[in-house]
Amino acid sequence: MLFIVALFIELSVANSNGVLHKSFVDIVFLSFFSFGESFEINKFVFEEMVSRKYFTPREVSFHNTESDLWVSFLGKVHDLTKLCEREKGNILLKPILQAGGTDISHWFNPKTHDVRTYVDPETNCVIPYCPNGRYLQIPPAYPDSKWANNFGCPWWKDNKYVIGNLSQKTRFIKIVNTLTSQEHILEVCSEERLEAILERYLAYNAHADSYTWKRRAAGQTGQELQARQEKSKARQAKELQAKQEEELQARQAEELQARQAKELQARLELQAKAKRQKVVKQRAFPRDREQSPQTAESAKQRAHFSPRRQRAQIT
């Protein structure tokens, strides 16, 4: 049977004073739903979260055993399970096992991403700072012939152990299935988008990825959501129309500019052609050349004082 399933997410966000502010975001699912189908989740579902980009401190805390050990430091999450398997039985592994599932950023320098150091008051030597005791791949405080440093890149700098980022801020959301009245509370990372929240919800509902997810702002009803969607569509249509009009005006301006340039070029060509024709005509008929006023006056003076005219006057 086809059902319309509406899920509502209640977001609880703490401000700087620790006061919780609640906002509501609903997710509308349109899909086939098998009535009465339920899903359970436990901590073992987090074994499938390695592909995620962000993890919450709570997720990291589940991995605190020698066979499954995660730690976080300097904003990254590291899976040290293989390191523990390789160094099993090593006494230097004990501080790491004790810190499993926690954040150990205080072990390292955030600027150099290396182990913190301090000056030993007895020897005045700079030695590594190990608050929980010396751990793997940390040199001894004093020279030791048994110490071998041929292990290569230290584990805290080896990127092969990095599986993701530690969320800087988390929030709890409550998803309510209005059809079955099922409620689930999830802790999600603030950096995650809706697709990542959907992936987390798959542990509760395996069909979540086949639904259509839609976001609704705080305190809105279904009618308000529909009105908001229609308003958004109208705004998008208006923006599209305005963009098309701008493109049309720009295209018309380009066409007008091209036409004006073409007319100017044609006018210049006509002027050049007329000038060439005039030069050719003057070369072919030199007597028909137009005389300037100065040239005409000089010709009159020459004719007035010419010998022929003087003889005619004497006669």
Quote the pLDDT of residue 4.
Answer: 36
177-216: b or e for each residue (b if 16 or more CB lie within 10 Å)?
A: beeeeeebebebbeebeeeebbbbbebbbeebeebebeeb
Question: Alpha-carbon distance 34 to 25, whole Å?
Answer: 24
Quote the pLDDT of residue 83.
Answer: 93
- Termini Cα distance of the chain: 137
Quote the pLDDT of residue 182.
Answer: 79
Quote the pLDDT of residue 17.
Answer: 37
Q: Give the type of residue at 56.
A: T
User: What is the gyration radius of the CA atoms in the chain, in angstroms?
Assistant: 44
Nearest in space to 56 (alpha carbons), one of 101, 88, 9? 101
Question: Alpha-carbon distance 311 to 315, whole Å?
Answer: 6
The tokens describing 156, both together, are 């805290």
What is the largest distance, in Å, between two alpha-carbon atoms of the chain? 151
Task: Supply the pTM of this predicted model.
Answer: 0.53
Quote the pLDDT of residue 64.
Answer: 92
Quote the pLDDT of residue 93.
Answer: 92
Quote the pLDDT of residue 36.
Answer: 34
Quote the pLDDT of residue 19.
Answer: 37
- How many whole angstroms from its chain centre is CA 109? 29
Question: Alpha-carbon distance 305 to 307, whole Å?
Answer: 7
Where do we find the tokens 């050049």?
Answer: 272
Quote the pLDDT of residue 252.
Answer: 93
Backbone dihedral angles phi then psi of residue 53, each to the nearest 5 degrees: -90, -30
Quote the pLDDT of residue 143.
Answer: 78
Quote the pLDDT of residue 47.
Answer: 42
Quote the pLDDT of residue 160.
Answer: 93
Residues of the chain with pLDDT under 50: 1-50
Question: Alpha-carbon distance 130 to 96, whole Å?
Answer: 11
